[in-house]
Amino acid sequence: MGIWRRVAGSDPAHVPDLAGSLDSLGTQLSELGRSAEALAATEEAAELSPESAEVIGTRGQAYRAVSRYDEAVADLTRAIELDPEYAWALAQRGRAYRLMGRYEEAVADLTPGDRAGPGVRVGY
């Protein structure tokens, strides 16, 4: 990441690349069970790219992994607002609601119904 930080610092056009790299790092750390480090990487990515549904959604998943469910729901809701067809974020928010005991909201998010159409994105 040091190289990306230097490049982004010297040329702001590369800030989205740095945010994407940090987002990917967060995902990989999460898959390795390194939740606190994943959250740190995704928090930095979200600071750099606050209007990216993918980056905000990944941070929401990282919050869920460390049991910070209110923040997870807020980020995942924001990701859905940024990209209403982002089914992955909707499913992640449903999982967070389930962990919070908010079962009706979980069922609504986890049952796509009319939302599942040809334009609905399920991942990156």
Q: Is residue 22 part of a domain?
A: yes
Mean of the pLDDT values across residues 66-84? Answer: 97
CA distance 34 to 60: 15
Domain count along the chain: 1
Residue 107's domain comprises 2-115
**What are phi and psi for residue 74, nearest 5 degrees?**
-60, -45
Report whether pLDDT(6) > 90.
Answer: no
Each residue of 23-44: pLDDT tens digit? 999 999 999 999 999 999 999 9
Cross-strand bridge partners of residue 121: 86
Q: Is residue 40 part of a domain?
A: yes
CA distance 51 to 63: 18
Q: Is residue 122 part of a domain?
A: no
> Which pTM value belongs to this model?
0.82
**How far apart, in Å, do the first and last CA atoms of the chain sit?**
21
Which two tokens mark 33? 């069970």
Q: Is residue 68 part of a domain?
A: yes
Report whether pLDDT(45) > 90.
Answer: yes
Q: Is residue 30 part of a domain?
A: yes
Q: Is residue 45 part of a domain?
A: yes
Mean pLDDT check: name the lowest of 10-19, 63-72, 109-118: 109-118
